[in-house]
Every structure is written in C-alpha cells, then in structure tokens.
Structure 1
Amino acid sequence: MSILGTVGAAVKLGLGLHHLQIAGEYIYSYLPSLSGTRSICQAPRTFTTIMKEIKTIGTHDGTFHCDEVLGCAMLRILFPDAQIRRSRKNEVLDACDIVIDVGGVYDLTTYRFDHHQKGFEVTAGSLLPGKPWNVKLSSAGLVFCHFGKDIIRCIVDLPDEKNLDRVFDQVYANFIQEVDGIDNGVPMCCPTTTYSISTNLSSRVSHLNKSWNQKEFDEEKAFNQAMQLTSEEFIDRVKYYSESWLPALCIVQSAIDNRFTVDPSGEIIELSQFCPWKAHYFKLEEELKLSPTVKFVVFFGEDGSWRVQSVSLDEKSFILRIPLHKAWQGLRGKDIGVEGAIFVHGTGFIGGNETREGAISMARKSLSSHVAQS
C-alpha cells in the first residue's frame, strides 16, 4: 500500500496520523494554532518519540521545582488543551496520558518520565548518540530530549532539519542543561566556588513556593505562575537562537570563505556586519578543519568605528590565540602609533580604529609581531 493509501486507511479507522510508522519514519500531525506558537504538520520525518494524543499531564503535588514546571510548560506548548494533574497517588497518575518527575519510572512505551529512581543515569549524550552532554537528565531534560524539536517547531518556523538541530543544541546546552544540573545536584565547578548564583530560573521558580511561615498559600496558583515564568523564558530562548543567533551563521560562513581576500595569511576575517560570531566560528572551524585558524576578526562597530578582535582558544576561553600587539595594550589614540587607532584593551583582546584599513592593519601588525617573537 502507498503512503497516502496507508494514511487514508488510518484516517478512515480513526487511528490518527501520529500513530503511524511507515518505512522507519513517522507521519506526524497535531495541534491547533496556539497564540505565540505554530501548528505542525510534517511528513515524513524521524522522531525520537512516537507521539500520541496527550490530554492529561501528571506530576507531583507539594513543593514544585523548576524541572517539572518547565517540563509541563513545554508539553503545554505541544498540547495547549492538556490538563495538568498534580498528585502522588497512583490512581491519579495512572489515569494520565503522560507522567513526569514522579512515579520512579522512566519508560518511553508507557510515557513515564521520572529521574529519581535508583540506577537512573541517563544523559542527553547517552539518549541522543553523538551529543556531547553528560549531565544527568531531570524531567525537563527528558521532555526536551524526546519532544524538543517538535516543541521548537511550534514556536518558530525551521523547516531545515540541520538548522533545527543547531537550535535544539543551543537551547539544551545553554538553557535546559542548567536546569538538569541544578535539579540533580551536579556541581557547576569544583572543588570550591567563589560565589553562588541565586537569580537563575530554578531559584526564581523555587521562590514561588510557600515559605515556612506563610499562612495563606494557593499552591495551584503558584504552580501556574511558575509555569508561565518558565514558558516565557523558554520561548524567549528558542526565538533568540532561531531568529538572532542562527542567521549569524551565514555571515560567519561568508567571512571564512572570503578570508584570503582580506589578508593572504587567511588568519583575518571580516564580518559584513557585527553578529554573535564565536559559537558559529568554532563550530565551522572544526567542521571545515580550517588551516590556518583565524586569529583576528574585523567588523564595523555600532559606535561608527571599526573593531579588531582577537580570537580566543575556544568559545568559552579568555586565553587568546594571539593578542593585539603587546606594545599597544592599554594605550589610546596616537600613543598606539597606527593611523586612525582609537584604543587597545589592556589585555589585547580588542581594539578600535577609525577605518576598515586601519583595523586590518592593526591585525596584520599584531600577526607579524607574534611571528617575529616566536
């Protein structure tokens, strides 16, 4: 039977498209339009999870935490009409279509997503082969790993699977993973910390719980407030990575492609306009196996002058591959000795010049100085 014939038969029998598996891929269709989100109808595609219609979402009552609040909020983006039932009673949870953060079971076939049980050590890296993350998943991480791409597609239009995967990775690495780590007590660094962070999303959700000496408290109202908080922040992050971060990829790719026209060394790139370039550059450097690697990035600054920025060892590092000329560091204007120079930061990580040619000249002279010293 053809795919269309199979779909037609399923509809006639009332099975629903989201239950079909054809040639290893799933036909997927669900959701009415929801304010701020999008309806989805993609076929065929491969999914981590076989979806079913979800009318009830179960989680525990009592003190709530960021992971199950965020998990419920994400599921409600997929299924806006789903009812949330908060209880620890088996008879209540067993009647739910999906249960998260309670019950002591992680079983995809029965839609049970708890992470508290003994022996649970599932990470995004173990669940999704090829992903680099090894923080134990909370209920938020489980929901995101199984449903995340479809939740993202409810918020933004990303038909290209590779771009969807890029946004998925950024949202997990820079948003969900933090919730997973905090909920599971995974230390951010060790052996000691200089200060703690108490303004993160998990802390703000925690603050919405009943205080020890509070006499009147509406737990359901507080839980809904927490869901609203996490939902808004999650949607904001998805939109940022889809609508601001992702479009920068083309700019960085073009700069790399044209690097030898900027300087014969290939170690200086020029952005056609400023954008968040670091994450894209290091990913492309790895994928393209760039040689030589880029040492300086030149771009037009928002204040009307040109910038020359030194590239660090990696996206998170403060150590520079080659800083701007040591003799210029901390100087301003004519003291730098380069025409049009405005300033050079004390660490040599960035400098300014009145012209494009001046900024490129600063990068070239810094390269030459490094070669002469090595």
Structure 2
Amino acid sequence: MTENAAKRLKMETGPASASAVAIGTHNGHFHADEALAVYMLRKHIPTYTGARLVRTRDPALLETCHTIVDVGGEYDAARNRYDHHQRTFATNFPGRATKLSSAGLVYLHFGREIVARRLAAPEGSEQVGVIWNKIYESFIEALDAHDNGIGVYDPAAVTAAGLTKRFSDGGFTLGAMVGRLNPNWNDEVPADPVAAQAAEDARFELASQRIGEEFDRDLNYYTQAWLPAREIVAETFAARKEYDAEGRILVFKGQSVPWKDHLYTLEGPNQENGKAVYVLYPEKPGPGSKWRVQCVPVTKDSFQSRKPLPEAWRGFRDEQLDQISGIGGGVFVHAAGFIGGNKSFEGALSMANKALEI
C-alpha cells in the first residue's frame, strides 16, 4: 500500500508540477501530528516539494487540495485523504496497538520511501523495514498517542498502584513542544480576517519546521549511527563468552556504540541467550585510553541496573577505590553504582569479574 501510494503520486503530478500541489489541513489551534505530517510530505517526498499549504475547515476549499491531512473526516489513501477523527477509524501501525493520527497515517504510507531515500536503499529491503519500524516506535507513536488522548500508562493501573509523581517533569513532550507555539489566549489578533489567518499560518509553519527538525534528527541518528552499530553489537554479543563463561560481560574493543536496543533484541525475551550484566568500552579510540564499566539497565530507559557495581565501591576514586576494591588503576565508581572506570582494559575487566562475584 505504501509503495503504491508513492507511485500513484508520481504519476498524477510529477516533480515538474509540484508547485501546483496543495496540502490541506485545518486552521485554528494546531497540533504536533498535522504539523509533522505536512513537514514529512514537503521535506521528504519529491511530489510535495514546494507544495502550497491550505489551512481551512471549509469543505469546498479542502476539496481543491491534492492531499488532506487531519481534517475532512475521511481516510482514503487512494484519494490522498488522511484524517483519523471519524468514528469508524481504527487503523494502527503494523504490530502496534496505538491508533494512528495524521502523522502516523502519513508515515504509514510514506515512511518507507522517506527511510529508503535517506539510506539510498530499496524500499523493500530489510534495513529500510528495520528503521521504518524503529522510528515509528521511538518517535511517531508518541504523537499518535498524544493526539488520540492515550496515556503512556494505563490510568486505572496507576490509580490501583497508588503511584504519584515525585516531581514535575516539565511536561516537555513532543506534543507540548508544538502546542507552545500556538498563540496565547490574550495575544493580540489582527482585525482583518485575512491578516489574522496569515499570522496563524506563520505560527503553524514555524511549528511544522520545529517538529520536523526533531524528526530529521531521529531519522539521521537511526540511519547513520544506530543502524551501523547493529553489526558491531552483534559481533560483540557473539564473543561475550570470551570474557565470562556465562556471557555476562560485553567488550567493545574499538569504541562504544549505541548498544542498548541491539543488545535487548539479541538477548530476546527469554533467558536462552543469557543476560549481559556489564559492558566495557574505552573512553576514546586509540591506545592508552581509560576504560569504562557500565551496568546494563533493566530496560533501555531505566535507571535501575541488572546488577549495580558493589555498594562498597560507590563514590570512591583513584587510590581510595584501589584499596577498597583490591584492584589497581581504579578511576571512579559513580555514587549510584551504574558506571565506573579504570585506567586499563585489564583493570576494567577485573572490576567487572569481581563485581559479578559480590
């Protein structure tokens, strides 16, 4: 379906007529989902390069648009209609439970092309599929949930557990970042309706660019850094029993790479492959570098380690750490116990091995 949508657009308009293409969305208070949907089309799909933006709720004006997102009460990819507000709408991204917003719909149909262009790879390739899924889970899904009023946690479960926030996290989500760019209730509005709409549209353009910049950062990271790291982590994982018979120590010999996502994938959902406890890596490439011992967290975003470094070592440095640990070359162990350092690889490995025994 995704590939057909891209081909259909190219046949209908072609690059030469891109300036005639109009993208319609609603006016008034804007949200992150349509701001990103518009950005993805205009920035990453050649058919929409230079496309005009029409922000209105007038059905007659919307019908003049080539593509409509987040308004119109219709989801029909064959007609380039991508709204999700209709009562009958229940479309999800493959393998995910969150109902899509206009951002998710555009990404569903055009995301593979966006990733393929960045990787210079066929849309049907395994690499494109991996990144397509990863960016949805790490970025797009949060916007879909936000726009559809879906919380990260089940509110009933939170209430039943009696959980409350320890402090305010500032509320700075992707959705909030865009929402802050809407005008305040008491901002002055031009008396002329045309001027007022132009001012509102200018704010939307700013919001679309802002959320788009964050999307591009994710796209660049996952295609240029995260994906190349996958092979390195796989090789390191395969060699893990060289340092511990149970495979609990991973060693990156050249330099550290983004390893958490890949490690959890390689371990799988069960214990058959064993669970890593410590990851060792040099602070910088080249000889003579100091080494780090990092604890593997329970989950990617958790502050809880599978096995923190020994409590007796925490908060100590240099000679004091050497005396307490019985291992020479100690640099530090963080007070929270999730990371430590040594002047040499041998020392870092000794710290990991000894920590496993305690």
Which of 195, 204, 210 aligns to 1:223? It is 204
Residue in structure 2 matched with residue 36 of structure 1 by the alignment: none
Task: Give the match's secondary structure for 1:246.
Answer: helix
Q: How far apart in 2 are the matches of 1:87 and 1:286?
A: 48
Residue in structure 2 matched with residue 236 of structure 1 by the alignment: 217
317 and 116 in structure 1: CA distance in 2 versus 1, 3 angstrom threshold: same
1:255 matched to 2:239: no
Which aligned pairs between 1:1-374 and structure 2 lie closer than 5 A? 18-19=7-8, 55-76=21-42, 77-78=44-45, 79-124=48-93, 128=94, 131=95, 133-159=96-122, 161-189=125-153, 190=155, 191=158, 192-193=164-165, 194-215=167-188, 216=190, 217=196, 218-272=199-253, 273-286=255-268, 290-302=272-284, 304-332=289-317, 333-334=321-322, 335-369=324-358
CA contact (8 A) 1:18 1:30 kept: no
Q: How far apart in 1 are the matches of 2:200 and 2:12?
A: 35
1:145 CA drift (Å): 1.4
1:11-70 Cα distance to aligned partner (Å, 9 max, x none) = xxxxx99249xxxxxx9999769xxxxxxxxxxxxxxxxxxx992221112222111111
Amino acid at match of 1:168: W
Task: Give the match's secondary structure for 2:168.
Answer: coil
CA contact (8 A) 1:58 1:85 kept: yes
CA contact (8 A) 1:156 1:239 kept: no
1:73 CA drift (Å): 0.7
1:116-158 Cα distance to aligned partner (Å, 9 max, x none) = 122433322xxx2xx2x32222111111112111122334434
Gap runs ≥5 in structure 1: 1-15, 21-26, 34-52, 370-374
1:230 CA drift (Å): 2.2
Q: Which moved more, 1:224-233 or 1:326-335?
A: 326-335
CA contact (8 A) 2:298 2:306 kept: yes
1:196 CA drift (Å): 4.7
Amino acid at match of 1:228: Q
Q: How far apart in 2 are the matches of 1:172 and 1:28?
A: 27
Q: How far apart in 1 are the matches of 2:14 and 2:260?
A: 36
Q: How far apart in 2 are the matches of 1:276 and 1:292?
A: 20
Task: Give the match's secondary structure for 1:247.
Answer: helix
CA contact (8 A) 1:155 1:235 kept: no
Q: How far apart in 2 are the matches of 1:211 and 1:338?
A: 60
Amino acid at match of 1:147: F
Amino acid at match of 1:321: R
Q: How far apart in 2 are the matches of 1:234 and 1:17?
A: 20
1:165 CA drift (Å): 2.0
1:153-184 Cα distance to aligned partner (Å, 9 max, x none) = 33443458222222222321222122112222
CA contact (8 A) 2:316 2:332 kept: yes
CA contact (8 A) 2:119 2:128 kept: no
59 and 295 in structure 1: CA distance in 2 versus 1, 3 angstrom threshold: same
Amino acid at match of 2:293: V
Q: How far apart in 1 are the matches of 2:39 and 2:106?
A: 10
Q: Which moved more, 1:262-271 or 1:283-292?
A: 283-292
Which consecutive aligned stretches of 4+ in structure 1 deviate over 6 angstroms post-superposition? 27-31
187 and 337 in structure 1: CA distance in 2 versus 1, 3 angstrom threshold: same
1:262 CA drift (Å): 2.7
Residue in structure 2 matched with residue 5 of structure 1 by the alignment: none
Amino acid at match of 2:325: I
Amino acid at match of 1:150: E
| RMSD (Å) for aligned C-alpha atoms | 3.1
Q: How far apart in 2 are the matches of 1:115 and 1:200?
A: 21
CA contact (8 A) 1:54 1:98 kept: no
Q: Which moved more, 1:193-202 or 1:272-281?
A: 193-202
Please state which structure has a larger fraction of its residues in helix: 2
119 and 352 in structure 1: CA distance in 2 versus 1, 3 angstrom threshold: same
Q: Give the paired residue count.
A: 324
Q: How far apart in 2 are the matches of 1:137 and 1:150?
A: 19
